[in-house]
Structure 1
Amino acid sequence: MAQWPNRRAEPPDDLGWTEDADPESVARKILLDQLSITARSRHELEERLARRNVPEDVAGRLLDRFEEVGLINDEAFARAWVDSRQRTRGLARTALAAELRRKGIADETARTVLAEVDPGDEEDAAGVLVRKKLRSMRGLDTQVATRRLVGMLARKGYSPGLAYAVVKRELGAPEWSGDDE
């Protein structure tokens, strides 16, 4: 089996295509291969088929059929994506919305899924991120630690108000021992 330098890289475009290959069979194989790895949005699959030079009419017909039978479901994909990224990366709704947009999820679907995110869970996730980062900040001045922690939360999509509140709460915890306390 051929090895590509980057495991996430796409295989060369000529794989699967022969002179007498049926474009629909090749496209179906591409879709099934992609979906066997992980769930994907319709938009991502459309892009992959286009990169592999699958005719648009064939791609559209197959994508529609895969949606009909439930193999492609953007709302379920978005829910799973939000759950995973919130759990593993601690991302806030703002960052999650941007990621869903890049994945080609419709704004209405993204709003529906993101509305299900509990603000309390979001605050808890921010607290976990801050506590984890605080372990490496022992001995830092409280102002420096505050600035770095709020910046980290901002990069993960948290609002300034929530970021400051969580950082203030965590820095006030007895486990924190900055230089100026």
Structure 2
Amino acid sequence: MDDIYSRAKEYAFKLLTFRPRTKKEIEDKLAGKNYPTEIIRQIVQMLENYNLVNDEEFAELWIRDRCKVRSYGRWRIKHELALKGIDRALIDEQVNRLISDEEEFEMARRLVEKKRKTGRLNKRKVYAFLRRRGFPKEIVNHLLAEYGWEEAENPCE
């Protein structure tokens, strides 16, 4: 049993050398290698005790990266974090703490400006692009109006 624990621990450490992981990611990876549930629980507990797995810190890093590097809106970030097994209450708390309404609006505006500079400012495409990036309809419609398109339920008109 000690040999299995050692191999599982080594595998978990290896996973953490590539990038930070959530508790669920570690659990899923270890379960995928068919390690016993009790060993997985012990490994995850040990990693949390040494602060090597911390969902709160992971969420903060993820949000900052997705805003700064990829310019994603709240909805997309929340969705990605939920897929990684982060608790919904923690997601909402971190997103609301780290992304203001004004910052989200400015991120969306910068993306529209970038599209405008490339000459690809088509109402339907801009609407779809911003929605895929996770921006709410209210922000998207406001920006469409700012660029001379009326707000519409159906942006394809």
Query: 1:100 offset after TM fit, Å?
Result: 0.7
Question: Is it true that 1:131 corresponds to 2:113 in the alignment?
Answer: yes
TM-score, normalisation: structure 1: 0.76
Could you say which structure has the larger radius of gyration? 1
The superposition leaves residues 132-151 of structure 1 with CA deviations (integer Å, 9 ceiling, x where unpaired) of 1222326x6xxxx1222121
State the Cα RMSD in Å: 1.7
Question: Is it true that 1:162 corresponds to 2:139 in the alignment?
Answer: yes
Corresponding residue of 1:53: 34
Query: 1:54 offset after TM fit, Å?
Result: 1.2
Query: 1:90 offset after TM fit, Å?
Result: 1.2
- Name the CA distance, whole Å, in 2 between partners of 1:35 and 1:156: 28
Corresponding residue of 1:14: none
Q: How many residues align?
A: 147
Moved over 6 A (4+): none
The superposition leaves residues 99-149 of structure 1 with CA deviations (integer Å, 9 ceiling, x where unpaired) of 1110000111111111111111111110111111222326x6xxxx12221
Q: When you count helix as a share of all residues, which structure comes out higher?
A: 2
- Name the CA distance, whole Å, in 1 between partners of 2:26 and 2:116: 40
TM-score, normalisation: structure 2: 0.86
5+ residue gaps, structure 1, are 1-19, 173-181
* Match of residue 103, structure 2, among 112, 121, 125: 121
* Match of residue 84, structure 1, among 32, 41, 65: 65
* Match of residue 69, structure 1, among 25, 29, 50: 50
**CA contact 1:127–1:167 (8 Å) conserved in 2:** no
Q: What is the percentage of aligned positions where both structures have the same residue?
A: 27
* Match of residue 100, structure 1, among 66, 72, 81: 81
